[in-house]
Structure 1
Amino acid sequence: MEIIEVRGDRFKVAVLESAVPVLVDFWAPWCGYCRRLSPVIDVVAKQLGEKVKVNIDDAPELKEEYGVKMIHSLILFRDGRPGPVSEAPKSKADVDAWLASQGI
Protein backbone atom coordinates (compact mmCIF):
# COMPACT_ATOMS: atom_id res chain seq x y z
CA MET A 1 0.00 0.00 0.00
CA GLU A 2 1.26 3.38 -0.95
CA ILE A 3 0.26 6.45 1.02
CA ILE A 4 0.62 9.59 -1.04
CA GLU A 5 -0.16 13.23 -0.51
CA VAL A 6 -1.90 14.86 -3.43
CA ARG A 7 -3.26 18.13 -4.66
CA GLY A 8 -4.63 19.37 -7.94
CA ASP A 9 -3.90 17.20 -10.97
CA ARG A 10 -2.43 14.31 -8.96
CA PHE A 11 -5.80 13.85 -7.26
CA LYS A 12 -7.40 12.99 -10.59
CA VAL A 13 -4.83 10.31 -11.38
CA ALA A 14 -4.42 8.90 -7.85
CA VAL A 15 -8.09 8.88 -6.90
CA LEU A 16 -10.55 9.48 -9.71
CA GLU A 17 -8.80 7.20 -12.21
CA SER A 18 -7.91 4.45 -9.73
CA ALA A 19 -9.07 0.91 -10.49
CA VAL A 20 -9.27 0.09 -6.77
CA PRO A 21 -11.08 1.79 -3.88
CA VAL A 22 -9.12 4.73 -2.46
CA LEU A 23 -9.46 6.04 1.09
CA VAL A 24 -8.97 9.81 1.01
CA ASP A 25 -7.90 11.38 4.27
CA PHE A 26 -8.60 15.14 4.53
CA TRP A 27 -6.28 16.49 7.23
CA ALA A 28 -4.03 19.39 8.23
CA PRO A 29 -0.57 19.33 9.83
CA TRP A 30 -1.70 21.68 12.62
CA CYS A 31 -4.56 19.31 13.59
CA GLY A 32 -3.50 17.32 16.65
CA TYR A 33 -6.54 15.08 16.32
CA CYS A 34 -5.50 14.24 12.73
CA ARG A 35 -2.01 13.30 13.84
CA ARG A 36 -3.37 11.15 16.65
CA LEU A 37 -5.78 9.23 14.42
CA SER A 38 -3.43 8.92 11.44
CA PRO A 39 -1.89 5.56 12.54
CA VAL A 40 -5.39 4.10 12.87
CA ILE A 41 -6.31 5.27 9.38
CA ASP A 42 -3.05 3.79 8.03
CA VAL A 43 -3.97 0.37 9.45
CA VAL A 44 -7.43 0.52 7.90
CA ALA A 45 -6.04 1.72 4.57
CA LYS A 46 -3.72 -1.30 4.37
CA GLN A 47 -6.83 -3.46 4.17
CA LEU A 48 -8.10 -1.44 1.20
CA GLY A 49 -4.87 -1.13 -0.73
CA GLU A 50 -4.80 2.62 -1.42
CA LYS A 51 -4.73 5.73 0.76
CA VAL A 52 -4.38 9.33 -0.30
CA LYS A 53 -3.82 12.22 2.07
CA VAL A 54 -5.10 15.68 1.19
CA ASN A 55 -3.68 18.53 3.24
CA ILE A 56 -6.57 21.01 3.22
CA ASP A 57 -4.17 23.91 3.59
CA ASP A 58 -2.46 22.94 0.31
CA ALA A 59 -5.60 21.90 -1.56
CA PRO A 60 -8.58 23.92 -0.29
CA GLU A 61 -10.30 23.45 -3.64
CA LEU A 62 -10.61 19.71 -3.00
CA LYS A 63 -12.03 20.33 0.45
CA GLU A 64 -14.65 22.59 -1.13
CA GLU A 65 -15.39 20.33 -4.09
CA TYR A 66 -16.12 17.30 -1.91
CA GLY A 67 -18.03 19.14 0.80
CA VAL A 68 -15.55 18.53 3.59
CA LYS A 69 -16.79 20.69 6.46
CA MET A 70 -14.43 19.55 9.20
CA ILE A 71 -11.18 17.80 9.65
CA HIS A 72 -10.40 15.03 10.16
CA SER A 73 -12.68 13.70 7.40
CA LEU A 74 -12.53 10.56 5.28
CA ILE A 75 -14.10 9.75 1.93
CA LEU A 76 -13.96 6.37 0.21
CA PHE A 77 -13.80 6.69 -3.59
CA ARG A 78 -14.82 3.81 -5.83
CA ASP A 79 -14.61 4.00 -9.59
CA GLY A 80 -13.87 7.70 -9.25
CA ARG A 81 -17.03 8.41 -7.26
CA PRO A 82 -17.05 9.63 -3.66
CA GLY A 83 -19.07 7.90 -1.00
CA PRO A 84 -20.42 9.50 2.18
CA VAL A 85 -18.10 11.60 4.31
CA SER A 86 -16.94 10.32 7.69
CA GLU A 87 -16.38 13.36 9.90
CA ALA A 88 -13.99 13.10 12.84
CA PRO A 89 -14.12 9.34 13.44
CA LYS A 90 -13.10 8.67 17.02
CA SER A 91 -11.64 5.18 16.72
CA LYS A 92 -10.79 2.29 14.44
CA ALA A 93 -14.19 0.83 15.32
CA ASP A 94 -15.87 4.00 13.99
CA VAL A 95 -13.88 3.81 10.76
CA ASP A 96 -14.60 0.08 10.39
CA ALA A 97 -18.35 0.68 10.91
CA TRP A 98 -18.32 3.52 8.37
CA LEU A 99 -16.57 1.29 5.81
CA ALA A 100 -18.97 -1.58 6.56
CA SER A 101 -21.90 0.76 5.83
CA GLN A 102 -20.36 1.14 2.35
CA GLY A 103 -19.97 -2.59 1.80
CA ILE A 104 -16.27 -2.81 2.64
Structure 2
Amino acid sequence: MTATVRAVNDDDFDEAVQGSGRPVLVDFWAPWCGPCRAMGPILDAMAEAHDGTLDIVKVNLDESPQAAQKHGVSSIPALLLFSRGEVVTTLVGAKPRTVIEKAIAAYL
Protein backbone atom coordinates (compact mmCIF):
# COMPACT_ATOMS: atom_id res chain seq x y z
CA MET A 1 0.00 0.00 0.00
CA THR A 2 1.31 3.42 -0.89
CA ALA A 3 1.36 6.38 1.47
CA THR A 4 -1.31 8.97 0.86
CA VAL A 5 -2.31 12.40 2.05
CA ARG A 6 -5.20 11.93 4.47
CA ALA A 7 -8.14 14.34 4.74
CA VAL A 8 -8.96 15.36 8.30
CA ASN A 9 -11.59 17.69 9.71
CA ASP A 10 -12.31 19.60 12.91
CA ASP A 11 -13.55 16.40 14.58
CA ASP A 12 -10.43 14.29 14.03
CA PHE A 13 -7.75 17.00 13.68
CA ASP A 14 -6.39 16.71 17.22
CA GLU A 15 -6.27 12.92 17.03
CA ALA A 16 -4.47 12.99 13.67
CA VAL A 17 -1.92 15.57 14.81
CA GLN A 18 -1.49 14.90 18.53
CA GLY A 19 -1.96 11.14 18.16
CA SER A 20 0.79 10.66 15.62
CA GLY A 21 4.17 9.45 16.76
CA ARG A 22 5.71 11.17 13.72
CA PRO A 23 5.91 14.78 12.57
CA VAL A 24 2.70 15.83 10.81
CA LEU A 25 2.58 18.26 7.89
CA VAL A 26 -0.87 19.87 7.77
CA ASP A 27 -2.06 21.44 4.52
CA PHE A 28 -4.80 24.03 5.11
CA TRP A 29 -6.53 24.49 1.75
CA ALA A 30 -9.83 25.05 -0.07
CA PRO A 31 -11.09 23.58 -3.35
CA TRP A 32 -11.65 27.05 -4.87
CA CYS A 33 -7.99 28.02 -4.24
CA GLY A 34 -5.88 27.45 -7.37
CA PRO A 35 -2.49 27.55 -5.60
CA CYS A 36 -3.89 25.08 -3.04
CA ARG A 37 -4.85 22.64 -5.77
CA ALA A 38 -1.41 23.06 -7.35
CA MET A 39 0.17 21.86 -4.08
CA GLY A 40 -1.72 18.55 -4.22
CA PRO A 41 0.68 16.60 -6.46
CA ILE A 42 3.69 17.90 -4.51
CA LEU A 43 2.22 16.71 -1.21
CA ASP A 44 1.21 13.36 -2.74
CA ALA A 45 4.82 12.80 -3.87
CA MET A 46 6.14 13.83 -0.46
CA ALA A 47 3.77 11.42 1.30
CA GLU A 48 5.18 8.61 -0.82
CA ALA A 49 8.80 9.69 -0.28
CA HIS A 50 8.42 10.06 3.50
CA ASP A 51 6.22 7.02 4.14
CA GLY A 52 6.80 5.94 7.73
CA THR A 53 8.62 9.11 8.80
CA LEU A 54 6.08 11.88 8.13
CA ASP A 55 2.29 12.05 8.12
CA ILE A 56 0.66 14.52 5.72
CA VAL A 57 -2.93 15.60 6.23
CA LYS A 58 -5.21 18.08 4.46
CA VAL A 59 -7.81 20.31 6.13
CA ASN A 60 -10.48 21.85 3.88
CA LEU A 61 -11.17 25.28 5.41
CA ASP A 62 -14.68 25.41 3.98
CA GLU A 63 -15.62 22.24 5.86
CA SER A 64 -13.42 22.60 8.96
CA PRO A 65 -12.73 26.22 9.93
CA GLN A 66 -12.05 25.60 13.63
CA ALA A 67 -8.64 23.94 13.23
CA ALA A 68 -7.44 26.77 11.02
CA GLN A 69 -8.76 29.41 13.41
CA LYS A 70 -7.15 27.66 16.39
CA HIS A 71 -3.76 27.78 14.67
CA GLY A 72 -4.01 31.31 13.27
CA VAL A 73 -4.28 30.38 9.60
CA SER A 74 -5.47 33.45 7.70
CA SER A 75 -4.04 32.82 4.21
CA ILE A 76 -4.00 29.65 2.15
CA PRO A 77 -2.38 27.48 1.15
CA ALA A 78 -0.73 27.19 4.55
CA LEU A 79 1.51 24.31 5.59
CA LEU A 80 2.10 23.83 9.30
CA LEU A 81 4.54 21.22 10.53
CA PHE A 82 3.72 19.77 13.92
CA SER A 83 6.31 17.91 15.96
CA ARG A 84 5.19 16.38 19.26
CA GLY A 85 1.93 18.27 18.91
CA GLU A 86 3.50 21.73 18.55
CA VAL A 87 3.79 23.88 15.43
CA VAL A 88 7.49 24.05 14.57
CA THR A 89 7.39 25.39 11.00
CA THR A 90 4.88 27.42 8.99
CA LEU A 91 4.92 28.03 5.23
CA VAL A 92 2.29 30.28 3.65
CA GLY A 93 1.60 30.31 -0.07
CA ALA A 94 2.36 27.78 -2.77
CA LYS A 95 5.94 26.56 -2.45
CA PRO A 96 8.11 24.25 -4.56
CA ARG A 97 8.91 20.88 -3.05
CA THR A 98 12.55 21.84 -2.48
CA VAL A 99 11.51 24.70 -0.18
CA ILE A 100 9.12 22.48 1.78
CA GLU A 101 11.68 19.69 2.10
CA LYS A 102 14.32 22.12 3.38
CA ALA A 103 11.89 23.62 5.91
CA ILE A 104 10.95 20.24 7.40
CA ALA A 105 14.28 18.39 7.13
CA ALA A 106 15.42 19.12 10.68
CA TYR A 107 12.33 17.44 12.11
CA LEU A 108 12.42 14.18 10.15
- When normalised by structure 2's length, the TM-score is 0.84
CA displacement 1:49-83 (0-9 Å, x = unmatched): 31110001111111111111211110111111122
**Matched residue, 1:25:** 27
CA distance in 2, matches of 1:89, 1:98: 14
CA displacement 1:11-65 (0-9 Å, x = unmatched): 1111111111111110000111111121112222331431110001111111111
Matched residue count: 103
Moved over 6 A (4+): none
Tell me how large the CA RMSD over aligned residues is: 1.6
1:77 equivalent to 2:82? Answer: yes
CA distance in 2, matches of 1:49, 1:98: 13
**Matched residue, 1:60:** 65
Identity of aligned residues (%): 37
**Structure 1 unaligned spans of 5+:** none
- When normalised by structure 1's length, the TM-score is 0.86
**Matched residue, 1:98:** 103
